Amino acid sequence: MNKSLMYVSSLSCTILEVKKVEEMGTTLDVILSNGHLKYGDTIVLCGTDGPIVTKVRALLTPQPMKELRIKVRLLSYERVIHANYQSTYVRHETVKAALGVKIYAPGLDKAIAGARVYVAENEEEESYFKDLCMDDLQTLKRFAVGQKGKGVYVQASTLGALEALLTFLQTSKIPVHDFGVGPVFAKTIRAHAAMAEKAPEYACVLAFDVNIEKDAKEFAAKEGLKIFAGK
């Protein structure tokens, strides 16, 4: 199997998890399958409100024999980047595939797990990748969202989970009005509230492997929408 593996220089990087780290902010746990990442790279990725363009401020890997997705309590960003982070992470100026990496960069709150990460070398590439990074989401919309304005609302934790659920619903001939990725907020319910009057049989939110905020539950009860949650 070793002999059949091949390294290529073109970047192949996928977001495994979007995670908030105390005092540091939102980080990305990614799988770097090919290519390399370096400190200061301009990265472009898919976000719930549109493409995200930001710069890498830290590339961190766990200490040898440690799991990337460990639960960490950090005293401050400075501690991670400059001082005593050695007990938890190793900081790198550049990383090469294949590797699991934690990326810290500003503005990652709306990033979508399961999406791809691109590195832009100039403004032209940045513009190209901004369109490209949203392709998966737009393809799902064309594939799954009905044209009659009626259907259930779907929320999932990652693009992969969302695609699987949408495929199942289409096979089951259950129409989908819209969908999202990440936690269920009150605004999620608000966007689907009109369905209670338009088509009461579809006045529900199917939430897979996501957190449902308290205000979302309260608003759903008030508007007569049901939330079906599962993992």
Predicted confidence (pLDDT) per residue in 120-153, tens digit: 999 999 999 999 998 888 887 776 776 677 889 9
- Residue 14, pLDDT above cutoff 50: yes
Is there a contact between 153 and 165 (Cβ–Cβ < 8 Å)?
A: no
- Residue 103, pLDDT above cutoff 70: yes
Q: CATH no. for residue 171?
A: 3.40.50.10050
Q: Which domain holds residue 209?
A: 137-230
Dihedral angle at the C-alpha atoms of 61, 67, 69, 71, nearest 10 degrees? -110
Helices and strands of the chain, counted as H and E runs: 7, 14
Domain end call among 109, 133, 157: 133
93 and 31 in a common domain: yes
The token pair that represents 169 in the structure block:
């619903």
221 and 113 in a common domain: no
141 and 129 in a common domain: no
- Residue 86, pLDDT above cutoff 50: no
